[in-house]
Structures are given as C-alpha cells and as structure tokens.
C-alpha cells in the first residue's frame, strides 16, 4: 500500500506552516506517486525557507546567484531508490520551498497560496522521480502535462 513519510523542517519565519499546508504537501506527494504508478512506502524531506535561504542553496548547489521558488535534490541514482534500513521506505530526496516566493507567485498568478504550494510540491516530486524540463522541449511538455493532470486530479486548479 502506498504511503509517504514527510520529514518537515521550517527555516523561515514569514508564514506559519499550518496543518492545512502540511496536508496539501502530503496529498501532493501521494498524488504524484499514485499517478506515476508507485505502491511502496516512501520518505521525502521538505524544508520551508525564505528567499534568502533558497538563494544561498541555489548559489551553492547550482552556481545560480538568485532566489527561486523550489529546489529538488533527488536521491534516485537511475537504478532505483535507496532504502531506509530502519523504516524500509524508499528515500526520494529533498524538496526545498521558498514560502516567500510562493506568496509572491500566488499574488502574481492570481491564485491561492495553497494552489502555489501544491504546484511547487508536485513539480518538485516529479523532479525527484527523474523528470526534467531543461534538456528538451519534449521532456518539458511531458513533465508539465503530468503536473497539470496531477493538480487537476487533486483539485488544485485555481
């Protein structure tokens, strides 16, 4: 049976990370795994930060000196997932969300903060599962179609 364990860390003080927000993240993680046909136990780390925090990570890991909305750090090595020996769960990796950028983008795009968090979570989960949108237009189209399908399925359209 499909299940996920979310290891959450809040490194920002701008917004209280409510139970509702944590539930949205969990639903989006599970929804992405379900849509991709996974049925195992999974574990993912989710860190909530601000623009300064994500800019530092972006600069350190990607040599890009600016904030971004979300970063994904997959653990999958192309041959499968590492297994946590204690929980027997597949370890997906890390998602880092700039809550500050999520607020900015929700306002810019005219939708709710919850919808933006859902979008960023699904987008990042697809990266953890090996999808990318940088290498080709075809991969970008496939990834974006999948994320829109998942968001629609979960009811996060606006």
Q: What is the CATH number of the domain that holds 105?
A: 3.40.390.30
Q: HEC string of the chain? A: CCEEEEEEEECCCCCCCCHHHHHHHHHHHHHHHHHCCCCCEEEEEEEEECHHHHHHHHHHHHCCCCCCCEEEEECCCCCCCEECCCCCCEEEEEEEEEHHHHHHHHHHHCCCHHHHHHHHHHHHHHHHCCCCCCCCHHHHHHHHHHHHHHHHHHCCCC
Could you give the number of structural domains in the chain?
1
Q: What is the pLDDT of residue 136?
A: 80
Residue 78 has pLDDT above 80, yes or no: no
Residues ≥6 apart with Cβ < 8 Å to 74: 92, 93, 127, 128, 129, 130
Residue 6 has pLDDT above 70, yes or no: yes
Residue 44 has pLDDT above 80, yes or no: yes
Query: How far is Cα of residue 16 from the mean position of the Cα atoms in its chain?
Result: 18
Measured between alpha carbons, how far is 151 from 148 in angstroms, rounded to an integer? 5
Residue 87 has pLDDT above 80, yes or no: yes
Q: What is the pLDDT of residue 158?
A: 64
Q: pTM of this prediction?
A: 0.95
Range of the domain at 133: 3-154
């Amino acid at each position: 049976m499909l299940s996920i364990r979310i290891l959450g860390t809040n490194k920002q003080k701008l917004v209280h990370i409510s139970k509702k927000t944590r539930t949205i993240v969990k639903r989006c993680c599970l929804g992405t795994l379900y849509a991709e046909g996974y049925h195992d136990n999974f574990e993912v780390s989710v860190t909530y930060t601000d623009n300064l925090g994500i800019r530092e990570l972006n600069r350190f890991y990607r040599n890009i000196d600016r904030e971004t909305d979300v970063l994904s750090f997959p653990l999958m090595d192309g041959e499968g997932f590492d297994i946590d020996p204690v929980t027997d769960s597949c370890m997906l990796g890390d998602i880092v969300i700039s809550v500050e950028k999520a607020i900015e983008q929700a306002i810019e795009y005219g939708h709710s903060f919850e919808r933006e968090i859902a979008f960023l979570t699904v987008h990042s989960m697809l990266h953890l599962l090996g999808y990318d949108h940088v290498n080709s237009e075809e991969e970008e189209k496939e990834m974006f179609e999948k994320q829109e399908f998942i968001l629609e399925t979960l009811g996060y359209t606006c």
